[in-house]
Structure 1
Amino acid sequence: MTLIIGLTGGIGSGKTKAADIFKQLGAGIIDADQIAHELTHPDGKAIDPIRKMFGDGVIGEDGSMNRVAMRKLAFSDTTARHKLESILHPLIYQETQRQLSRIQSEYAVLVVPLLLETGNYLQLINRILVIDCPESLQISRAMQRSKLSEQAVRDVMAIQCARDERLAQANDVIVNDSSEEHLQQQVQKLHQIYLDFARKPDF
């Protein structure tokens, strides 16, 4: 049995950067967002169901999902968002389980932005790690990284757990509000803690 850490945090909190550092230290990484991207690439498993559900308007010329068009639809229509989730979430979960079964490292980090909102993955993990930063920093980072408007970022935040709710459910917290060096130091500290946990027979 492998120790599984569920890593989550709000948009722009730095989940990917933290996961990259864990990976460099030798942890196995499974990223739900990355799986979602693969599912919505040309010929991805989600493309045909998405086309049947929403039509060709959300499919790009290259055959992948048009993320801009889909985001606009999903955040303007709650029913559409739930329909998209009903297609993607089971496929992401299935692929997550497949990848978890192949983990060879002493512990694995499962990166799921909506870990606490969906609850689907809680049965797979042993600890919850939250990457935290002030909401103003989330907004500025997400706008810069993804070229989203402030309103688009706030729309995403609106469907995510409130910051205090996320922190209340965390076993571990990384505060990512300053330098990358500070982030790295916190990840390295937790890496050692997780190795110690993983080496206990009854973690």
Structure 2
Amino acid sequence: MIKIGLTGNIASGKTFSENIFKSYGINVISADDIVHDLLKNDKNVIKKVTNIFPKADIFENNLLSRKKIAKIVFNSKDLRKKLEKILHKEVIEKINDFFEKNKNENTAIASVPLLFEAKLQNMFDVIIFIQANENIRLKRLMNRNNYSKEFAKKIMDAQMNEDLKLPLSNFIIENNQDEAYLKKQIHEIIKNLNIL
């Protein structure tokens, strides 16, 4: 089985790309979905996360609010590192379980936004990076999450620069154009890897 890591900086089009791969019948797991599930349902993780922010209001409707947590961690590198330390361990475990469950498939994909930041390259046989221009990503992030330009830039600046990630990737998908062009590139990668 070919273990594929799909990554890209924030608002590069990972979720849309995940769905294109899924349309080919390829199983995909998303680190974002894992984190969402952990923060909603895992009592142990909820407790650990709550302990990082003892005085902060990070709940909404009795659930941990990702938006409130984001507002805090993107203004404090120290708190962000503490949060990532808790979550990365859990995410790695879930991805390993996912690959184990799919070991009889030709391939399986894990979509991991912080793949390089968390130094997870060795978990994968192939890494696909989705590249999009900074201005396009900034607009997408502001529109999608209703963030101010200043806060959106803060989130983008917290990630490793794209230029450092490109040489570490096996395939690069350019997502500055339309959906058809994105689909065409993904189709070419699937053909190139001979995974269907």
The alignment's TM-score, normalised by the length of structure 1, stands at: 0.89
Pairwise CA distance, 1:63: 3.1
Cα pair 2:130 2:172 within 8 Å, conserved = yes
Q: Secondary structure at the match of 1:33?
A: helix
Q: 2:27 maps to which residue?
A: 28
Following superposition of structure 1 onto structure 2, how do residues 93-132 of structure 1 map, counting pairs within 5 Å? 93-103=92-102, 104-119=104-119, 121-132=120-131
Partners of 2:91 and 2:180 in 1: CA distance: 32
Q: 2:159 maps to which residue?
A: 160
The runs of 5 or more residues in structure 1 that have no matched partner are none
Q: 2:2 maps to which residue?
A: 3
2:180 partner letter: E
Change (3 A) 1:58 1:97: farther
Which deviations, in whole Å up to 9, do the C-alpha atoms of 1:64-119 show, x marking residues without a partner?
21222211211111111111112111111111111111115311111111111110
Following superposition of structure 1 onto structure 2, how do residues 1-203 of structure 1 map, counting pairs within 5 Å? 2-55=1-54, 57-103=56-102, 104-119=104-119, 121-194=120-193, 196=194, 198=195
Cα pair 1:8 1:131 within 8 Å, conserved = yes
Which deviations, in whole Å up to 9, do the C-alpha atoms of 1:28-74 show, x marking residues without a partner?
10111110000001455421111223237344243321222211211
Partners of 1:38 and 1:56 in 2: CA distance: 24
Change (3 A) 1:126 1:20: same
The runs of 5 or more residues in structure 2 that have no matched partner are none
Change (3 A) 1:42 1:6: closer
Cα pair 1:42 1:62 within 8 Å, conserved = no
Change (3 A) 1:147 1:193: same
The alignment's TM-score, normalised by the length of structure 2, stands at: 0.92
Pairwise CA distance, 1:182: 1.0
Pairwise CA distance, 1:145: 1.3
Please give the root-mean-square deviation of Cα atoms over the aligned residues, in Å. 1.7
1:96 partner letter: I
More displaced, 129-138 or 49-58? 49-58
Which deviations, in whole Å up to 9, do the C-alpha atoms of 1:159-186 show, x marking residues without a partner?
2121211212121011111111111111
Cα pair 2:132 2:175 within 8 Å, conserved = yes
Q: Secondary structure at the match of 1:34?
A: helix
Q: Secondary structure at the match of 1:18?
A: helix
Q: Secondary structure at the match of 1:57?
A: coil
Quote the sequence identity (%): 30
Q: Secondary structure at the match of 1:161?
A: coil
Pairwise CA distance, 1:22: 0.3
Q: Secondary structure at the match of 1:13?
A: coil
2:89 partner letter: P
Partners of 1:170 and 1:142 in 2: CA distance: 23
Partners of 1:35 and 1:45 in 2: CA distance: 14
Instruction: Kindly tell me the number of residue pairs found equivalent between the two proteins.
Output: 195
1:3 partner letter: I
2:110 partner letter: L
